[in-house]
């Protein structure tokens, strides 16, 4: 079964938009809770290292 990433955002007028993204055959999506992009990358790399 194919997985899809669904993102939702609301613009400054209050209108809500949804986008459905299907990853390419060589692409994956990972959701990380973090306070910054740098922290998210660090958490991702640490989890990846622990899995190996």
Tens of pLDDT, residues 1-52: 888 999 999 999 999 999 999 999 999 899 999 999 999 999 999 998 998 8
Q: Report how far residue 34's alpha carbon sits from residue 37's, in angstroms, rounded to the nearest whole number.
A: 7
Q: pTM of the full predicted structure?
A: 0.63
pLDDT score of 1: 85
CB 2 within 8 A of CB 22: yes
43's enclosing H/E stretch is helix 37-51
> Residue 47: which region, alpha, beta or left (left: phi > 0; alpha: psi -120 to 50)?
alpha
């Amino acid at each position: 079964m194919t997985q899809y990433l669904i993102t939702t955002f609301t613009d400054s007028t209050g209108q809500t938009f949804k986008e459905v993204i299907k990853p390419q055959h060589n692409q994956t999506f990972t959701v990380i809770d973090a306070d910054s992009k740098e922290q998210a990358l660090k958490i991702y790399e640490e989890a990846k290292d622990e899995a190996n």
